[in-house]
Amino acid sequence: PSRGEYDNRTPLQQSNSFVRLTGKSIYNQRKDYGETLLKPQNDFQHHVEHLLTMHLERELRTAEDCLWRLRELEEQGRIWGQDVILAVQEQELVLSDVESKEELEAFPLENVQGCSTGLDNTVLAISVQERNPPRTSVLLFQCERLGVSPEGAGMGGSPRNGGLIAAGSCQAETLRNSLEKVLRQRKEEQSNHYGHRYGGPDIAPVPAPTYPAPER
């Protein structure tokens, strides 16, 4: 056929001349799409207020110690918080600026040691292992209350300098459970499919067992 005959065809006719999907290929694509829809959602991204990061030492041995120190500092009006986005991205726990989305800090998921809540379920504490310098740090976050602005005003909220927001619709425990679930899922995915971006596996490989020689 001449060039003009090709140019006069509709886009659909041109497309069909190059790609003809069989019933099986369509079925397989639909099957893959269905699996994507049913795959558990493990995204974690929340608006929180970063209150303080403490480093474990002689006087601060646990996350609970850090929470009590936070209460003391809060009562003295010495806490300077910042609204951030706390998210899991790929294999990292990331803190980003709310407006500019600039990354403020990131930790490999394998360095996250645990999560806890405290102060009447208003604060989320995340323990992470830092490498340079090597130490354990505890990041403390005020969880956003439902229906309350970041400044803590309106809907029964109190000003920031009036103390930690009281319990109620605070999401500290909810965020903890959600984050722990995502951490488990991501670490399993990383171990099973992708290998480790930041080093070896979470658990050291177990040597092959030795068996006694069969009796003669």
Query: What pLDDT is stored for residue 155 in this prediction?
Result: 33
Q: For the whole model, what pTM was predicted?
A: 0.61
Domain ranges of the chain: 44-194
Query: What pLDDT is stored for residue 26 in this prediction?
Result: 86
Amino acid, single-letter form, for residue 95 = L
Query: What pLDDT is stored for residue 146 in this prediction?
Result: 38
CA dihedral 163, 165, 167, 172 (to 10 degrees): -120
d(CA 170, CA 59): 29
Question: Which CATH number among 3.40.50.300, 1.10.357.10, 2.40.33.20, 2.30.29.30 corresponds to the domain 44-194?
Answer: 2.30.29.30
- Residue 194 CB burial class (10 angstroms; 0-12, 13-18, ≥19): exposed
Query: What pLDDT is stored for residue 113 in this prediction?
Result: 94
Query: What pLDDT is stored for residue 149 in this prediction?
Result: 38
What are the backbone dihedrals phi and psi of residue 13, each rounded to the nearest 5 degrees, phi first? -65, -40
**Alpha carbon of 71 to those of 6, 156, 164: distances in Å?**
76, 21, 8
Query: What pLDDT is stored for residue 189 in this prediction?
Result: 77
pLDDT along the chain (216 residues), means of 10: 52 53 85 71 82 94 95 94 92 93 94 92 94 93 57 38 45 90 81 57 48 51
